[in-house]
Amino acid sequence: MDADVSPEERQERLRRLPAVDRLLETARGNPDFADVPPAVLTRAAREVIDAERRRLLRPEVSGEELPASALWPQRLREAVGRLMRPNLRRVVNATGVVIHTNLGRSLLAEAALARVQEAALHYSNLEYDLEGGKRGSRYTAVRDLLCEITGAEDALVVNNNAGAVLISLETLARGREVVVSRGDLVEIGGSFRIPEVMAKSGARLREVGTTNRTHRRDYESALGAETALLLKVHWSNYSIVGFTAQVPLADLVALGRRHGLPVMEDLGSGTFIDFSRYGLLKEPTVQESVAAGADIVTFSGDKLLGGPQAGIIVGRRELIEAIRRNPLNRALRIDKLTLAALEGTLRLYRDEAEAVRRIPTLRLLTEREETLLPRAEALRERLAALGDPRLTVEIRRLSSKAGGGSLPLLDLPSPCLGLRVQGLPAHRFESALRRSEPPIIARIEEEAVIFDLRTVPPEDEEGIVAGVARILREVASCA
């Protein structure tokens, strides 16, 4: 890279860089840096000098271009700002994908957060039986609620649903066969594939049927002395249409009963409410799976349920008890803050109207186009009021998605804003938005940057206006 820079020139340039101590000297007494830990300040100074060193060694940079002395404190301030900023931080989700796995999946209800705060700041009866004054079970906090809501005999929670599937298979079928339809051998993303989880659990996969059609006789002819379990996996993140046949859960249960075999269903997304009642697509509920007689049902806490990341296992008492006693349970143990958040979320489900109103995931999924439209219009006005003739903003009737591998066929009509800035290609506009503070995550459609307000709470609109205004200023100063 620096092949064109002569060794003498190189020396000369580097000689003019300030030493770390000298740069730190400029920060001394400056109130901007008063609260910055010395180690951070030193690291920032090194980073600023290193960046300048790399720049100076680039052949296209002339040696005259050393930064003016006034620029150094400014650079130092920026570096300190970067280092002091939390790595995990808030962003504006303008994608319209409600359960956005990369952006944190579900948002917690305030009521759930209150439970987390109490459990975090105070001692609690996490594993303490207040009646008996002795050791208790950490699952007590959610077990009754889960049984009450789903109708199951017993319940257990682990770290996530991948863990729930793994520990259930390991407990019920290690070293033996699990019969699964070929159509159910799904990949969830992030390297969770049913055949691979099965292998990790030590259970042997016995595939039956075909991708699009599996019949009861396919399951039946696979049963034998080695069979431990019948498994059904809900197609939460895809759909097969056309010439298809699946065996309903109730029929699989009947088959299992006849052969004395348990039936497990991995629901994935897991919902307690029937979305078809809200004009959305029908998604099987946990209650329906329990009522159909599934012996074990597993699902996520942070997909359609709208709670914290967790894997929930409900089902028959003796099977749940066996899973609870599995040593893997210790490795997959749910953390107390998660448990508190889950309890807070589950309590809201005792009243469905309350759940839909107070659990953000449910509220956003059921938000109507009519209530989003005035917000879209108001935001368009605010952006137009920036008064920049290069910016055009129009309202487009597009669709939001559930995301998180849930309800793949669902299109939620949503009035979105489509923005274009003359002289700024959409992909550069989109990446500039990501560098805003807070970062704004949007998508591109037909050369316009799209803001879908379904996933943008009103308090985030200010950040969007400020972000767009900053980008317009930067474009102006570059032009």
Ligand X SMILES: *Cc1c(COP(=O)(O)O)cnc(C)c1O
Nearest CB to ligand X, comparing residues 361 and 436: 361
In terms of Cβ atoms closer than 10 Å to its own Cβ (0-12, 13-18, 19+), residue 151 is: middle
Query: Segment near ligand X (CB under 6 A), from 114-122, 216-224, 262-270, 326-334?
Result: 262-270
Structure tokens of 74?
């400014």
> Which stretches of 8-141 are assigned E, i.e. beta strand?
92-93, 97-99, 128-129, 134-135
Query: Long-range contacts for 282-286 (Cβ within 8 Å, ≥24 apart)?
Result: 283/236, 283/406, 283/407, 284/234, 286/149, 286/150, 286/314
Please report whether residue 269 would count as binding ligand X according to CB under 6 A: yes
Place of tokens 């159909």: 292
Q: HEC states along 340-404?
A: HHHHHHHHHCCCHHHHHHHCHHHHHHHCCHHHHHHHHHHHHHHHHCCCCCCEEEEEEEEEEEEEC
Nearest CB to ligand X, comparing residues 95 and 106: 106
Least distance to ligand X from the beta carbon of 157, Å? 11
Please report whether residue 232 would count as binding ligand X according to CB under 6 A: no
Structure tokens of 45?
């100074």
Please report whether residue 203 would count as binding ligand X according to CB under 6 A: no
Nearest CB to ligand X, comparing residues 193 and 470: 193
What is each CA distance from 420 to 338, 395, 425, 444, 452, in whole angstroms? 42, 12, 8, 10, 15
454 by DSSP, 3-state: which?
Answer: helix
- Residues touching ligand X: how many (CB under 6 A)? 16
Least distance to ligand X from the beta carbon of 40, Å? 35
Least distance to ligand X from the beta carbon of 178, Å? 14
Nearest CB to ligand X, comparing residues 93 and 338: 338
Please report whether residue 233 would count as binding ligand X according to CB under 6 A: yes
Least distance to ligand X from the beta carbon of 302, Å? 7
Please report whether residue 201 would count as binding ligand X according to CB under 6 A: no
Query: Segment near ligand X (CB under 6 A), from 8-16, 21-29, 263-271, 272-280?
Result: 263-271
Least distance to ligand X from the beta carbon of 94, Å? 24
434 by DSSP, 3-state: which?
Answer: helix
Looking at 154, 170, 218, 266, which residue binds ligand X (CB under 6 A)?
Answer: 266
Looking at 75, 138, 232, 234, which residue binds ligand X (CB under 6 A)?
Answer: 234
Q: Are 323 and 167 in contact (CB under 8 A)?
A: yes
Please report whether residue 329 would count as binding ligand X according to CB under 6 A: no
143-182 mask for ligand X (x: CB under 6 A)?
A: -----------------xxx--x-----------------
Least distance to ligand X from the beta carbon of 281, Å? 15
Least distance to ligand X from the beta carbon of 265, Å? 9
What size, in residues, is the chain? 479
Place of tokens 């959305």: 280
Question: Residues 33, 34, 35, 38: what is their CA dihedral angle, to the nearest 10 degrees?
Answer: 70
Least distance to ligand X from the beta carbon of 234, Å? 6
Nearest CB to ligand X, comparing residues 345 and 414: 345
272-311 mask for ligand X (x: CB under 6 A)?
A: ----------------------------x----------x
Looking at 36, 188, 253, 449, which residue binds ligand X (CB under 6 A)?
Answer: 188
Least distance to ligand X from the beta carbon of 337, Å? 17
Q: Which residue is nearest to ligand X (CB)?
A: 268
DSSP 287: H
Least distance to ligand X from the beta carbon of 409, Å? 15
384-423 mask for ligand X (x: CB under 6 A)?
A: ---------------------x------------------
Nearest CB to ligand X, comparing residues 75 and 234: 234
217 Cβ contact partners less than 8 Å away, ≥ 6 residues apart = none
Least distance to ligand X from the beta carbon of 235, Å? 8
Residue 417 to residue 453: CA distance in whole angstroms? 8
In terms of Cβ atoms closer than 10 Å to its own Cβ (0-12, 13-18, 19+), residue 349 is: buried
Q: Are 472 and 390 in contact (CB under 8 A)?
A: yes
Least distance to ligand X from the beta carbon of 188, Å? 4
Please report whether residue 268 would count as binding ligand X according to CB under 6 A: yes
Please report whether residue 334 would count as binding ligand X according to CB under 6 A: no
Residue 286 to residue 267: CA distance in whole angstroms? 8
Place of tokens 């997304």: 269
What is each CA distance from 344 to 155, 325, 371, 418, in whole angstroms? 16, 26, 28, 38
Please report whether residue 338 would count as binding ligand X according to CB under 6 A: no
Residues of this chain that bind ligand X (CB under 6 A): 160-162, 165, 188, 192, 233-234, 236-237, 266, 268-269, 300, 311, 405
